[in-house]
Structure formats: structure tokens, C-alpha cells
Amino acid sequence: MRNIRKTMLALLGTAILLTAFQCGKEEDPEEVNPNCNARHSKCLSHNDKEVKGFYSPDSASVVYDATSQRLHVTHHNLAVNCGTAEMEGGIIVSAIRNGQTIDIYEREDENNPQANCMCDVDNEFDLYSIEPGTYTLVFHSCYPDPLSVTFSF
């Protein structure tokens, strides 16, 4: 009886979650350049951040190429493990577009060597097939709250 109750509660919870994620969607999410080849800097020093004018611990900038519909994104001061910062291609990026919102997921490659420290890097990547407009980029990384930035181009 106990297992039947657990199973019923699990099914009910799953049904509620599926309904919640499907309600109110104007269109289905679409992957935008999943697992793109991200490029990142080495660990930034405090002086690097001041020279570039980025005082926020977490910020972003974009450059849009209308001809190729390519959006070049830089996530400034992304906190990563120092072991990842020393590896080229150590950050894996994937993105999902839902209307005018693009969720960007940045994670460290699990095969990276780990060090007992964290540092900030500038992580760059390209998104393709992005039409001109106003978009909100939501960066999901190791920060507790995602960075959300809106750009028009």
C-alpha cells in the first residue's frame, strides 16, 4: 500500500510539472547552437577588470552581424574553477531560445582538472540564426541567480 501511494504521488507531481511547463508558452523552445565552441580568457586580474570598465562581478556584451544573423556574446567575469580557466575549451555552452528569451547554459567540462580556487574569465561564443529584435539573454552558470540582460539590435 505504501509503494502504491508513493507511485501515485510521483505520477501526480510529474503531471503537475508537465502541465506547468506547457501552459502559457507561445512557441516551443528551440536549441540555438548547442554545445558551441566557447572560447574563454585565462583568469582575469583585478586590473584587467578595471581596464575594461567592468565593475559588476557579472556582465555581458553582444555584437550582432545582420548579414550572417550571428550574435557574438561575451559573458564578462564568469566565475569558474581555476583548473577550468587554464584549459582551452573548458567551458561548454548550450542555448535554448523561446521567443525573445534565450537561456544560455554555461558549465565546466566535467573532465577538467580541479583546483582549490575560483577565478573570473571572459567567456565568448556565437549564436546563429538570430533575427534582429529585442532579446533577453539569461545566463545560467554557477552563480545562485542567473544574469539576465536585454539587448536590441
Is residue 96 very low, low, confident or very high in pLDDT (cuts 50, 70, 90)?
Answer: very high
- Calpha distance 36→95 (Å, rounded): 9
- Whole-model pTM? 0.71
The larger pLDDT score, comparing residue 29 to residue 20, is at 29
Where do the structural domains in the chain lie, given as residue ranges?
Answer: 29-152
The larger pLDDT score, comparing residue 142 to residue 136, is at 136
* CA 73 vs CA 18, 29, 99: distances in Å: 31, 20, 18
Tell me what pLDDT residue 50 has. 54
Nearest alpha-carbon partner for 122 in 71, 64, 80:
80
